[in-house]
Chains A and B, each alone.
Chain A
Amino acid sequence: MTMLTVSVYRYNPDTDDKPYMQDFQVDTEGRDLMVLNVIMMIQEQDASVVFRRSCREGVCGSDGVNMNGRNGLTCITPLSQVVKNNKLVLRPLPGLPVIRDLIVDMQMFYRQYESIQPYLQNNTTPPAIERLQSPEDRDKLDGLYECILCACCSTSCPSFWWNPDKFVGPAGLLQAYRFLADSRDEYTKERLARLDDPFSVFRCRGIMNCVSVCPKGLNPTHAIGKIREMLMTQAT
């Protein structure tokens, strides 16, 4: 028997006055399980524990959770990466309202994503087959389009914690740059005009929490720097 102590954030607004931490003992049999497996074993012990999950292979982005103080996807995070002193603390993603247990309300996150208009805007009549891009132009989208919107980055960003209604956040800004960098998009000027206020982009203080937690290894800080460069080029 190899017992692991897992402390889980519990909150059910229907029955609890306030959130509390509940400890569970899980027998891992010495295996280096993924955190998601451990949460499912906990749910077998207590069916009232709720969490989000879907693809269980780091593609859908629904199981973002704070594990021992660090945001990540439970399905692709092995215990060996997060467990300290045989203890694991699981909390919902910080900074967003908790719906129940490990489930957060992502509305503010999606609203910021929506604000950057995450779709191609082009008024030129499309050619018969498709809008072509040179391989070089296509390369510019690498490291941007891979985002799965799991919110691990934005919810580890203090600027997003304090101003989730005004600061777009790392995830939204990475996507903002994805469309600014796209050779097929014609609305660069309009997109930049919407970002040139003291909050949307410039509340980023460059502390790079987003880069350190991104489960896909992306670099929102770099994209934010590129947006600043584009704003600067346009304005000077």
Chain B
Amino acid sequence: MVTMITNLGRSGLSDWLVQRISAVVLALYTLFLVAYVLFHPGLDYLTWSALFESTAMRIFTLAALLSIAAHAWIGLWTIFTDYVKCTRLRLVLQVVVVLALFTFVIWSVQVLWGA
């Protein structure tokens, strides 16, 4: 048993599950966006902004953004614990990643629901 305090879910199982579920959400979101662009040749600003007017699309986008945040936290945490053996540097990198992801999420909420 190894105790960890910097991973997302504290337990290996929850991290593993979140990683898989967020991957599915991201895959669905990517497929939807690619399909949308392909089926709307000559896509203009009005169509694009109308798409993001609907509550469903905003929720889907927020779900994708939260998935990116969780997925990246778990994934980068794994990479750092594998390759960065200096504890101070690893902690700094982990904090930078978490703060960056936090910023991205808040910023995206502002973009989605802002004026």
Which A residues contact B (CB, under 8 angstroms)? 159, 162-163, 166, 193-203, 228, 231-232, 235
Contact = CB atoms under 8 A, between A and B. Distances in A.
B103 interface: no
Nearest to B9: A198
B3 A197 contact: yes
B82 A232 contact: no
B16 A228 contact: yes
B66 to A, nearest CB: 20
Q: Which 6 A-B pairs have the closest CB atoms?
A: A202-B12, A198-B12, A199-B2, A162-B82, A197-B2, A194-B1
Nearest to B82: A162
- Chain A binding surface SS class: loop
Interface residues of B, number: 16
B82 A197 contact: no
Given A201-B12, A228-B16, A235-B11, 13 more contacts: A159-B82, A162-B82, A163-B81, A193-B1, A194-B1, A196-B13, A198-B2, A198-B12, A198-B78, A199-B12, A199-B81, A200-B2, A235-B14
Interface string B74-115: 000010011100000000000000000000000000000000
Interface in B5-25: 7, 11-17
